[in-house]
Amino acid sequence: MSVTKTLFGKVNDEEVYLYTIMNKSGASVALQTLGAGVHAINVPDRDGKLADVVLGFDNPADYINPDYGYQGLSVGRWANRIRDGKFIFEGTEYTTPQNQGTWTLHGGGRFSFTNWEVAETGENFVTFSRFSPDGEDGFPANMTMKIKYTFTEDNILRIEYTVLADRNTVANPTNHTYFNLSGVDGETVEDHSLQILADYFTETDASQLATGELGAVKGTMMDFTTLHKIGDRINEPFRACLGDVGYDNNYCLRNQSGDFALAAVLQHEGSGRKLEVFTDLPGIQLYCGGWLKRDYTVGKGTNLVTYRRGVALETQFYPDALNIPAFPLWTVKANEAFKTVTEFRFSVI
Ligand code: BGC
């Protein structure tokens, strides 16, 4: 195993670096200091041919345009939506930026769009770190978040988030990588098969905000309890899916224990590549890139970031759990490390 550091480019006059972890087989993961993000993942198909299975950009500045969908970036302090940019925590009301309509999306601020420090590297890991002062984007407590990425000989990318804060607070970090296991430019993810270990999803209103109700997947297009193609039902009209966006929904995982368990399986029959997602969090956002425009011209070479080109599987607490007491939430206690782990395990069918 080895880690190589290279200069990616400059954003706002700051140098952005890539750290590439490569294993003995030649498979690799490139991580970027900007947004403590995943820049590339090169893994083999069934014939051993390596291809990059994540979307992203050649130009680092494209990563900080929120319209391009947080490609590969770490997201926080609170992933997904907060209704009206407000929540009450331990008796005090906090106000977060209304960066989408009247709500907060993905923390509303700088978390994903700044250069993170590199705290540590080892032969198969890189740890990014960022200090967020009390009140940054409205959230309580001085906090340091560390994100440790480890890549193994058997093609497992492990992401460990550790939060340390000086008083009680909340955190909902996730990673916003868009996968396309085909490794083929221009192919959508509709041909990928997906299974999600969830019987319910969180119902949403016309603004895509959680209502607090849970909907049963059974008998609807939301049902991924068995492995089948994303494209089978993605175009059906459904109350929790807007226009032609398709899937952009939070699933309530069967595993609500906080233990680490399998959450989802994604596979692409053509290439034979398979991805299993493991997490200790109770929810996962299935987002198939339906808000990305068909005419975007940015990406990596001819591999463009456009409509339905990638699927994000964002492990998380449920959207707006800060305002919906019935939703599961474990909070950050003062001076106690809060940890959560997600793994992306690559293999072939
Ligand atoms: C959200 C989408 C959003 C995307 C990129 C996802 O987590 O659910 O609505 O477009 O992130 O910001």
CA of 26 to the centre of ligand 1 (A): 32
Decide yes or no: CATH 3.40.309.10 for domain 2-348.
no
Say what the pLDDT of residue 242 is: 96
pLDDT at position 152 is 98
pLDDT below 70 — which residues of the chain?
none
Structure tokens at 59: 């130009």
> Hey, CA dihedral for 299, 304, 308, 311, is it positive or negative?
negative
Which of 287, 307, 315, 320 has most ligand 1 atoms within 8 Å of its beta carbon, as the pocket-test mutant? 287
Which residue is closest in CA terms to ligand 1's atom 4? 69
Q: Whose CA is nearest to atom 12 of ligand 1?
A: 69
The rounded distance, in Å, linking the Cα atoms of 213 and 44 is 41
* pLDDT of res. 69: 98
The question of whether 176 is a catalytic residue gets the answer yes
Phi first, then psi, for residue 231 (nearest 5°) are -75, -10
pLDDT of residue 147: 98
Model pTM score: 0.98
CB of 113 within 8 A of CB of 137? no
Q: What is the helix (H) or strand (E) element at residue 94, kind and residue range?
A: strand 92-95
Span from the CA of 291 to the centroid of ligand 1 (angstroms)? 8
Nearest CA to ligand 1 atom 11: 69
Ligand 1 atom nearest to 80, measured from its CA: 7
CA of 79 to the centre of ligand 1 (A): 9
Round to whole Å and give the CA distance between 260 and 278: 7
Pocket lining: 45 vs ligand 1, CB cutoff 6 Å: no
Tell me which of 39, 176, 192, 268 is the catalytic residue. 176
Domain ranges of the chain: 2-348
Classify residue 158 by burial, with Cβ atoms within 10 Å: 0-12, 13-18, 19+.
middle
Please work out whether the CB of residue 248 comes within 6 Å of at least one atom of ligand 1: yes
341 contacts 260 by C-beta, under 8 angstroms: yes
> In ligand 1, which atom is closest to the CA atom of 75?
7
Choose, from 39, 187, 268, 314, the residue flagged as catalytic. Answer: 314
Three-state secondary structure call for residue 144: strand
Extract the tokens encoding 191: 């041909």
Q: Answer whether 291 contacts ligand 1 (Cβ < 6 A).
A: yes
| 192 has catalytic annotation | no
Atom of ligand 1 nearest to the CA of 291: 10
Task: Kindly tell me the burial class for residue 189, based on how many C-beta atoms sit within 10 Å of its own C-beta (0-12, 13-18, 19 or more).
Answer: buried
Atom of ligand 1 nearest to the CA of 314: 7
Question: Separation of 283 CA from ligand 1 center, angstroms?
Answer: 15
CA–centroid distance, residue 250 to ligand 1 (Å): 11
- Whole-number Å distance, alpha carbon 68 to ligand 1 midpoint, is 10
Q: How far is CA 160 from CA 146, 208, 244, in A?
A: 8, 29, 34
Residue pointed to by tokens 């198969």? 124
Among 294, 278, 293, 308, which residue's Cα sits nearest to residue 190? 308
For residue 227, what pLDDT is reported?
98
Pocket flag, ligand 1, residue 69 (CB < 6 Å): yes
